[in-house]
Amino acid sequence: MAACGGKEDDTLTMATNAEFPPYEYYENDEIVGIDVEIATAIAEELGMKLEVEDMAFDSVIPAVSSGKADIGVAGMTVDPDRLESVNFSDTYADASQVIIVKEDSAIAGPADLEGKSIGVQLGTTGDTYSSENVKDAKVEQYSKGFEAVQALTQGKIDAVVIDSHTAKEFVKEAEGLKILDEAFTEEEYAIGIAKDNDELLEKVNKALKSLKESGKLDEIVAEYIKADAE
Ligand code: ARG
């Protein structure tokens, strides 16, 4: 669909950052996850073929607004600043930022983050909120969320602020870390679409609605997020 880049008209190009399980991540050489399946289902509804492009998280919105990609699907939180660059579809998931610390950490909630070093993925809402809302925080930006988690394991930083479901996946992969009960923020994920592409926005919303109504969306989510993990 993208006008430039020599893409076929029947290709729907998805910009993402595949460092974000369970929404998008590599399994062997393939990008899989909730967002990929949702986008595949949307492309199917539109009679198109999905093409996934992996890039840095902070390149996803520019790729969409410049028309290099048709849709940005990256566990992307609807946020007023981003709305200045792209439109968002209807939301498809609830999320929150949580705090990961070492099991023996004295940090017990958001208030204890004051003056601490906090690892985040560059350009995410965890990055913005930590920088804007935590007093005297030393925010360390990593290009991948898991790098922040590794830095925490190595004792280089005091905490990581990241989306809840991704936090659960990362903590499973690491040793000696825990997620604090108190969430930092509540957010919702949606698909980013270029501001001048109302036609696609409408089509995507229609496809999302039918995925919600048919139960297909819940099915996709259940495949990746087990019920006991909220
Ligand atoms: N929900 C957060 C945000 O919108 C983090 C998203 C990170 N996504 C990714 N694919 N790395 O900023």
Instruction: Give SS3 for 66.
Output: coil
Confidence bin at 229 (pLDDT 50/70/90): very low
- Cα 80 to Cα 9, 19, 84: the distances in Å are 31, 24, 7
DSSP code per residue over 123-154: TSHHHHHHHHHSTT-EEEEESSHHHHHHHHHT
Confidence bin at 9 (pLDDT 50/70/90): confident
134-184 pLDDT, tens digit each: 999 999 999 999 999 999 999 999 999 999 999 999 999 999 999 999 988
Q: Return the best residue to mutate from 163, 165, 186 for the ligand 1 pocket (most ligand atoms within 8 A of CB).
A: 163
Q: Is 140 in the pocket of ligand 1 (CB under 6 A)?
A: no
50-61 pLDDT, tens digit each: 999 999 999 999
CA–CA separation, 105 and 110 (whole Å): 13
Percent of the chain with pLDDT over 70: 95
Instruction: Give SS3 for 34.
Output: helix
Contact (Cβ atoms closer than 8 angstroms) between residue 152 and residue 100: yes
Q: Return the best residue to mutate from 76, 98, 129, 143 for the ligand 1 pocket (most ligand atoms within 8 A of CB).
A: 76
Q: Return the best residue to mutate from 14, 25, 125, 185 for the ligand 1 pocket (most ligand atoms within 8 A of CB).
A: 125
> Is 230's pLDDT higher than 50?
no
pTM of the model: 0.94
Cα 228 to averaged position of ligand 1 atoms, centre (Å) = 23
Atom of ligand 1 nearest to the CA of 74: 10
